[in-house]
Amino acid sequence: MTGKGGTGKTTVAAALALALARGGKRTLLVEVEGRQGIAQLFETAPLPYEERKIAVSHGDGEVHALAIDAERALLDYLQMFYKLGSAGRALKRLGAIDFATTIAPGLRDVLLTGKACEAVRRRDKRQRPVYDAVVMDAPPTGRITRFLGVNEEVAGLAKVGPVHNQAQAVMRVLKSPQTAVHLVTLLEEMPVQETVDGIAELRAAGLPAASVVVNMVRAGLPGEDQLLAPHRHTDELTGALARAFSQAGLGTAGGGGHAERLVAPLLEQGREHAERVALERGLRTELRAQGLPVRELGRLSEGVDLPGLYGLATALHDRWHTGEPA
Amino acid sequence: MSTPPATDVLDVDPLLDDPATRIVVCCGSGGVGKTTTAAALGVRAAERGRRTVVLTIDPARRLAQSMGLTELDNVPREVPGIDTSAGGELHAMMLDMKRTFDEVVEAHADPDRARAILENPFYQSLSAGFAGTQEYMAMEKLGQLRAGDEWDLIVVDTPPSRSALDFLDAPKRLGSFLDGKLIRMLMAPARVGGRAGMKVVNLSMAGLSMVTGALDKLLGAGLLRDVQTFVAAMDTMFGGFRARADATYQLLQAPGTAFLVVAAPERDALREAAYFVERLAADRMPLAGLVLNRMHGGAAAGLSAERALAAAETLTAENLEIDGIVDHRPGKSVVRSAPAADAEALEAHEAPQTSVPPEDPASRADSAASVAPETPEVPVASEAAPAPQAAVAAEDGSPASDSPAGSGPHPSDADTAETTATDDAVGLAAGLLRLHAERMRLLARERRTRDRFTTLHPEVALAEVPALPGDVHDLTGLRTIGERLAHQHAEETPASHRPADSR
Ligand SMILES: Nc1ncnc2c1ncn2[C@@H]1O[C@H](COP(=O)(O)OP(=O)(O)OP(=O)(O)O)[C@@H](O)[C@H]1O
Ligand SMILES: Nc1ncnc2c1ncn2[C@@H]1O[C@H](COP(=O)(O)OP(=O)(O)OP(=O)(O)O)[C@@H](O)[C@H]1O
Ligand SMILES: [Mg+2]
Ligand SMILES: [Mg+2]
């Protein structure tokens, strides 16, 4: 799950992990930016570097979560190839771990994507996948293609050896139909522009851009088309609205009464709203032209709390299977 | 803090005008408006007479477009359309990590060495900018711009990275890396003899070869060699890098720098803003204040949310059940559910609007209503707002149907032809009232969120910027943002009381 900053990547990733866990499934929600956004969302203590169950979904589904820590992932990674023992400690003393996780080219990103792919490929004793889906709260759109493509770069740098092989294996998973990159956006110009650019970049890199999730969609207003229509019959409309307000008990309609005074400000608010709606309509069209399924989630007027998150999961669940292209 | 204001209002004009102010850094969490604020401040400073450059780190091209430039690159480009009559100008640039890195190499190494570095595969991927490089290069670029002394003011936008303050850590990280033993060890084999390096490493020979052996097997011999060659070639430059990064860090702490934390009036954004405020204080970085961006304004603040909703209910009910009322003139309005005088009294009573109760009953009523998704109140939120509790209540997700926004059943759909004109108005009136109610609640929530922050951080100066109805995509929009940012109505004048607020 990627998207411009603040569009709802973390929220939508969490909602999707809940939605995909429905009906007895098990999903893993992965965080890679060390911000503990998942813990905050689920109102739990900060996540350790350890997979743990954080929520149940409808019908016995389970959502597990993991905040990947690059340093710990590197040590894991080294363990995978060697029983490192004292060499591992020596590396740490040398500052190699710091080097690898903060400065070396892309190693950090290799570790993060590598760990997520490991969870995707992991099997239980009966050779069934441990997780039905792994949902990653990924870096923002501006960095996503490089982030996911990092293994290609590394495979090119480390031309032989286990790192090379590992990088290629990760790339195979990321470019396969097993992977889907979803882009979260708002119906605002900049996020939409970033989404469109992001889709093009992902496609150019051979990465599977899969869908667009439009988040925080504003509710429609009955009669908003009237507001958009060029100011026809303004006086007539003003009069009629003043009478309606008055009828609703909001004061007198004529002679500068309260109802009459309400008309201008409320109408102005309505026009702004309508302006916004018109703008959004255009942006929607632009998104639909990308040739990907577009799914919309409403704005929760009270912000996202746990019940709200489950509500978003329901909405996403309902849309997930209907929005798919034929 | 360069110019601590007497009140808690953040006054940007004096800040921008002060010749002592040389760097303004805009930071904050994702999507709050850092780039927009940086650009708006740049425009404003330039039009107030300062030679200004905006350094953006945003990979999106939108900023360039909003300034009428087709593209931004690594050298400052003059922004057309700026009013330069006060003697200022505006340039903008976007950090290109690779170019910046290349320039550093070219400037600090002799040509042969520079070529060796630039052609090194390890260097090529390092400089292309993965996590980390961006922050170093941002510091490097800022240092360059400042050292050139060509600009009165440098406005810096920060990247939408995992932590917007990562760049503060860049010098420290680089330093600990350079002081680290690893780098010397890596350099050792590439040096003649390489003894000096190994002595510092202070490991037994066996330990050392075990480590390089492990690395070699792990990374493939080729990569390690590339890294070693790279490190050796960069050797003489690293010291310079570090000295410059340290100098830039100190520059950020100097009185000529002002940090602005940008935040949206939302719980999460303000939580992160509080973290930034604390982090800046810990690093002794001069915080000028908090920009609370996209605060909503509202007209007719005297009409409360509850009152507006009740009125909308009345209208909806009447409109549905009373067919054939052609005209509702004031004199004839028999169906009035509340006396007009009440409303006037109510207005007078609520007008001062000093504080908002922490938990307004209407919003509670509303969330209660959304448990039952079929309440008639929901049309305002047709497709768009799935009732939160829907997941618990109904698997079929009926409130979140895929009907396009606004096409839900309107009250006016039930109208008969002869009454259309007026009933349309009644439907619209109900809609406007619901919209108003929603807006009033949003306002109340935003203010509560703001007040919580100011209570916790009374020392932080604050400026509010209203949400513009459209998107900000041109100089006009940026100017408007700049104006709103500068014209804070002191003391108790929340955005909502200014009728012109929403353009
Ligand atoms: N559908 C929604 N309705 C209302 N508020 C929402 C919705 N989705 C997200 N939000 C709110 O918007 C803010 C940003 O959401 P979130 O943290 O998920 O975004 P993000 O893209 O992960 O941000 P960042 O770039 O900082 O990681 C949060 O305050 C969140 O509660
Ligand atoms: N006061 C405002 N009124 C209306 N729209 C605004 C306002 N400020 C910013 N915006 C819009 O909000 C969106 C996000 O703004 P911007 O890109 O500046 O945020 P950012 O913090 O730089 O985001 P990122 O973290 O992705 O870099 C843009 O679409 C912008 O046009
Ligand atoms: Mg997030
Ligand atoms: Mg930005």
Query: Mutate which of B35, B98, B130 to test chain A, going by most A C-beta atoms within 10 A?
Result: B130
Single out the residue in B189, B221, B254 at which a domain terminates.
B254
Ligand 1 touching residue B388 (CB < 6 A): no
Determine, for residues B330 and A252 on separate chains, whether the beta-carbon distance falls below 8 Å. Answer: yes
Quote the DSSP letter at residue B419.
Answer: G
Q: How far is CA A211 from CA A17, A206, A289, B123, in A?
A: 16, 15, 12, 35
Position B97 scores a pLDDT of: 78
Residues B129, B221, single domain; the answer is yes
Q: How far is the CA of A298 from the centre of ligand 2 (A)?
A: 20
Q: How far is CA B87 from CA B81, B90, B91, B485, in A?
A: 14, 10, 14, 22
Local confidence band at B151 (pLDDT 50, 70, 90 cut-offs): very high
Determine, for residues B203 and A90 on separate chains, whether the beta-carbon distance falls below 8 Å. Answer: yes
Cβ contact A316:A19 at 8 Å? yes
Quote the DSSP letter at residue A101.
Answer: I
Nearest to A158 among B223, B388, B430 (CB): B223
In the predicted model, what is the mean pLDDT of chain A?
Answer: 85
Position B184 scores a pLDDT of: 65
Q: Which residue of B has its CA nearest to A23?
A: B395
The pick from B35, B268, B290, B292 for probing ligand 2's pocket by mutation, whose C-beta has the most ligand atoms within 8 angstroms, reads B35
Give the 3-state secondary structure of residue B27: strand
Q: How far is the CA of B152 from the centre of ligand 1 (A)?
A: 37
Ligand 1 touching residue B266 (CB < 6 A): yes
Q: Residue B129: is its pLDDT beyond 70?
A: no
Single out the residue in B416, B438, B460 at which a domain terminates.
B438
In a domain, B25, yes or no: no
* Nearest residue to B281 via CA among B450, B165, B171: B165
Tokens coding A268: 């102005």
Determine, for residues A4 and B160 on separate chains, whether the beta-carbon distance falls below 8 Å. Answer: yes
Q: How far is the CA of B38 from the centre of ligand 4 (A)?
A: 9
Let me know if B240 is exposed, middle or buried by CB neighbors in 10 A (0-12, 13-18, 19+): middle
Position B415 scores a pLDDT of: 36
Nearest to A258 among B269, B347, B381 (CB): B347
Of A70-79, A125-134, B282-291, B410-419, minimum mean pLDDT range: B410-419
In a domain, B181, yes or no: yes
Index of the ligand 1 atom closest to the CA of residue A41: 31
Residues with CB under 6 A from ligand 2: A 4-5, 188-190; B 30-36, 58, 160, 293-294, 465, 467-468, 471-472, 481
Q: Residue B36: is its pLDDT beyond 60?
A: yes
- How many angstroms separate the CA atoms of B390 and A319, rounded? 14
Nearest to B131 among A94, A108, A189 (CB): A108
Of A170-184, A309-323, B282-296, B339-353, minimum mean pLDDT range: B339-353
Q: For residue B400, which residues of chain A lie inside 8 Å, CB to CB?
A: 298, 314-315, 318-319
Order across the sheet with B462-466: list the strands: B77-78, B89-94, B51-56, B153-157, B23-27, B257-263, B287-295, B462-466
What burial letters (b/e) apply to B62-100, b meaning 16+ CB within 10 Å?
A: bbbbbbebeebebebbebeebeeeeebbbbbbbbbbbeb
Q: What value does the mean pLDDT take over residues A14-37? A: 93
In the predicted model, what is the mean pLDDT of chain B?
Answer: 71
Order across the sheet with A133-137: list the strands: A52-57, A61-67, A26-31, A133-137
Nearest to A257 among B307, B340, B434 (CB): B340
Of A309-323, B255-269, B334-348, minimum mean pLDDT range: B334-348
Determine, for residues B402 and A322 on separate chains, whether the beta-carbon distance falls below 8 Å. Answer: yes
Local confidence band at A33 (pLDDT 50, 70, 90 cut-offs): confident
Q: Residue B296: is its pLDDT beyond 80?
A: yes
Q: For residue B38, which residues of chain A lie inside 8 Å, CB to CB?
A: none
Tokens coding B72: 């931004």
Four-residue CA torsion sign, A42, A44, A49, A52:
negative
Looking at A58-95, which runs of residues are DSSP E strands?
A: 61-67
Position B422 scores a pLDDT of: 66
Residue type, position B397, single letter: G
Cβ contact A66:A53 at 8 Å? no
Rounded to the nearest angstrom, the minimum Cα separation between B85 and chain A is 31
- How many angstroms separate the CA atoms of A241 and A262, rounded? 9
Phi/psi of residue A33, each to 5°? Answer: -105, 10
In a domain, B461, yes or no: no
Q: What value does the mean pLDDT take over residues A181-206? A: 94
Q: Residue A143: is its pLDDT beyond 90?
A: no
Quote the DSSP letter at residue A302.
Answer: T
Q: For residue A312, which residues of chain B lie inside 8 Å, CB to CB?
A: 386
- The total of structural domains in chain B comes to 2
Phi/psi of residue B288, each to 5°? Answer: -85, -30
Q: What value does the mean pLDDT take over residues B468-485? A: 90
Q: For residue A300, which residues of chain B lie inside 8 Å, CB to CB?
A: 385, 388
Of A21-30, B113-122, B128-137, B470-479, minimum mean pLDDT range: B128-137
- Which has the higher per-residue pLDDT, B157 or B337? B157
User: pLDDT tens, B329-383?
Assistant: 343 333 333 333 343 333 434 333 333 333 333 333 333 333 333 333 323 323 3
Let me know if B2 is exposed, middle or buried by CB neighbors in 10 A (0-12, 13-18, 19+): middle
Nearest to A99 among B163, B177, B432 (CB): B177
- Which has the higher per-residue pLDDT, A12 or B105? A12
Q: Does CATH place domain A2-218+299-319 in 3.40.50.300?
A: yes
Residue type, position A246, single letter: S
Interfacial B residues in 107-126 facing A (CB < 8 Å): 121-122, 125-126
Q: How far is CA A77 from CA A96, A306, B297, in A?
A: 14, 35, 53
Determine, for residues A259 and B340 on separate chains, whether the beta-carbon distance falls below 8 Å. Answer: yes
Position B207 scores a pLDDT of: 52
Q: What value does the mean pLDDT take over residues B304-319? A: 87
In a domain, B291, yes or no: no
Local confidence band at B198 (pLDDT 50, 70, 90 cut-offs): very low
Local confidence band at A88 (pLDDT 50, 70, 90 cut-offs): low
In a domain, B154, yes or no: yes
Q: How far is the CA of A82 from the centre of ligand 3 (A)?
A: 34
- How many angstroms separate the CA atoms of A259 and A244, rounded? 8
Cβ contact A259:A253 at 8 Å? yes
Position A127 scores a pLDDT of: 94
Local confidence band at B229 (pLDDT 50, 70, 90 cut-offs): confident
Residues B80, B184, single domain; the answer is yes
Q: How far is CA B349 from CA A260, B346, B447, in A?
A: 18, 5, 20
Of A275-284, B67-76, B451-460, minimum mean pLDDT range: B67-76
Domain with CATH 3.40.50.300 in chain A: 2-218+299-319
- How many angstroms separate the CA atoms of B462 and B287, rounded? 11
- Counting ligands in written order, the one closest to the CA of B33 is 2
pTM equals 0.77
Determine, for residues B328 and A317 on separate chains, whether the beta-carbon distance falls below 8 Å. Answer: no
Phi/psi of residue B285, each to 5°? Answer: -100, 135
Residues B105, B227, single domain; the answer is yes
ipTM of the predicted assembly exceeds 0.95: no
Of chain A, the end-to-end C-alpha distance in Å amounts to 22
Position A101 scores a pLDDT of: 56
Is B162 near chain A, with CB under 8 Å? yes
Residues B195, B60, single domain; the answer is yes
Q: Which residues surround ligand 4, an ion (CB under 5 A)?
A: B 34-35, 58
Determine, for residues A243 and B129 on separate chains, whether the beta-carbon distance falls below 8 Å. Answer: no
Single out the residue in B394, B409, B438 at which a domain terminates.
B438
Let me know if B20 is exposed, middle or buried by CB neighbors in 10 A (0-12, 13-18, 19+): exposed
Provide, rounded to the nearest whole percent, the portion of chain A with pLDDT above 90: 49
Position B447 scores a pLDDT of: 93
Q: How far is the CA of B161 from the centre of ligand 4 (A)?
A: 10
Four-residue CA torsion sign, B371, B375, B381, B384:
positive
Phi/psi of residue B91, each to 5°? Answer: -120, 155
Determine, for residues B31 and A4 on separate chains, whether the beta-carbon distance falls below 8 Å. Answer: yes
- Which has the higher per-residue pLDDT, B278 or B498? B278
Position A132 scores a pLDDT of: 96
Name the residue range of residue B380's domain: 305-438
Q: How far is the CA of A35 from the centre of ligand 3 (A)?
A: 8
Query: Mutate which of B219, B367, B423 to test chain A, going by most A C-beta atoms within 10 A?
Result: B219
Q: For residue A226, which residues of chain B lie inside 8 Å, CB to CB?
A: 424, 428
Provide, rounded to the nearest whole percent, the portion of chain B with pLDDT above 90: 31
Residues B142, B205, single domain; the answer is yes
Q: Residue B212: is its pLDDT beyond 80?
A: no
Local confidence band at A271 (pLDDT 50, 70, 90 cut-offs): confident
Tokens coding B230: 């790279």
- How many angstroms separate the CA atoms of B131 and B173, rounded? 13
Count CA atoms within 13 Å of residue A258 on its CB side.
23
User: pLDDT tens, B45-55?
Assistant: 999 999 999 99
Position A48 scores a pLDDT of: 85
Q: What value does the mean pLDDT take over residues B284-295? A: 95
Index of the ligand 1 atom closest to the CA of residue A35: 27
Q: Residue A302: is its pLDDT beyond 60?
A: yes
Residues B120, B184, single domain; the answer is yes
Local confidence band at B150 (pLDDT 50, 70, 90 cut-offs): very high
Q: For residue B245, which residues of chain A lie inside 8 Å, CB to CB?
A: none
Q: What is the number of other CB atoms lying within 10 angstroms of the CB of residue A56?
A: 12
Q: In terms of residues, how long is chain A?
A: 326
Determine, for residues B406 and A222 on separate chains, whether the beta-carbon distance falls below 8 Å. Answer: yes
Q: For residue B269, which residues of chain A lie inside 8 Å, CB to CB?
A: 6
Is B307 near chain A, with CB under 8 Å? yes
- Which has the higher per-residue pLDDT, B421 or B80? B80
- How many angstroms separate the CA atoms of A223 and B130, rounded? 50
Position B196 scores a pLDDT of: 41
Determine, for residues B130 and A150 on separate chains, whether the beta-carbon distance falls below 8 Å. Answer: yes
Residues B247, B337, single domain; the answer is no
